[in-house]
């Protein structure tokens, strides 16, 4: 049977050919995206980074996290402990690739606010000046070098 424009089967045949073409195209293109993952960052050599965050009065900041923002918006972070100390992690590895980073200090959100927006600005009290919660205004930078990096304490002024 030869399919021509007058055949009753022509719409079905046309649909099957198009579907097969789309599936074949996806099978050819999609595997190429396998290399575009964040695994590239995890394959880099990383170096341990640790430090401490102090408030203007010299007392340690006891909650929140320190985030290092690098080129290409890559971010590495670590929680701040009760003594103000932090260690930066890169997924399962502890450390950060060599380079210059801008520092952001993220406050810990109260438990009720972690999933939603605050009802008022008063509800979200920062234990430090808000400028440190934005890398473009924090004024804090670090350079990570090969080997262990014990940073000078970040002293957050008023």
- The pLDDT tens digits for 132-146 are 999 999 999 999 999
Q: Can you give the pLDDT at residue 36?
A: 45
φ, ψ of residue 124 to 5 degrees: the values are: -105, 80
d(CA 75, CA 82): 23
Q: Can you give the pLDDT at residue 35?
A: 45
User: For residues 52 and 85, is the Cβ–Cβ distance under 8 A?
Assistant: yes
DSSP structure string for 58-122 = SPBP-SSEEEEE-GGG-EEEEEB-TTSEEE-EETTEE-B-SEEEEEEEEPPPPGGGSSS--SSGG
pLDDT tens per residue, range 35-51: 444 445 556 789 999 99
User: For residues 106 and 67, is the Cβ–Cβ distance under 8 A?
Assistant: yes
Q: Can you give the pLDDT at residue 44?
A: 78
Q: Name the pLDDT band for 126 (thresholds 50, 70, 90).
A: confident
Q: Can you give the pLDDT at residue 37?
A: 43
The most confident of the ranges 72-76, 107-111, 139-143 is 139-143
Q: Can you give the pLDDT at residue 127?
A: 86
Average pLDDT, the chain: 78
């Amino acid at each position: 049977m030869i399919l021509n424009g007058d055949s009753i089967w022509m719409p079905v045949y046309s649909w099957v050919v198009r579907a097969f073409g789309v599936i074949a195209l996806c099978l050819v293109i999609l595997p190429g995206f396998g290399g575009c993952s964040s695994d590239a960052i995890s394959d880099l050599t990383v170096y341990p980074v640790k430090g401490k965050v102090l408030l203007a009065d010299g007392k340690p900041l006891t909650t929140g996290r320190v985030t290092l923002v690098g080129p290409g918006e890559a971010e590495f972070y670590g929680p701040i402990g009760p003594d103000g100390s932090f260690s930066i992690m890169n997924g399962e590895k502890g450390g950060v690739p060599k380079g210059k980073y801008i520092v952001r200090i993220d406050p810990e959100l109260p438990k009720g606010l972690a999933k939603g927006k605050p009802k008022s600005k008063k509800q979200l009290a920062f234990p430090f000046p808000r400028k440190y919660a934005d890398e473009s205004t924090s004024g804090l930078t670090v350079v990570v070098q090969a080997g262990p990096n014990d940073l000078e304490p970040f002293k957050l002024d008023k």
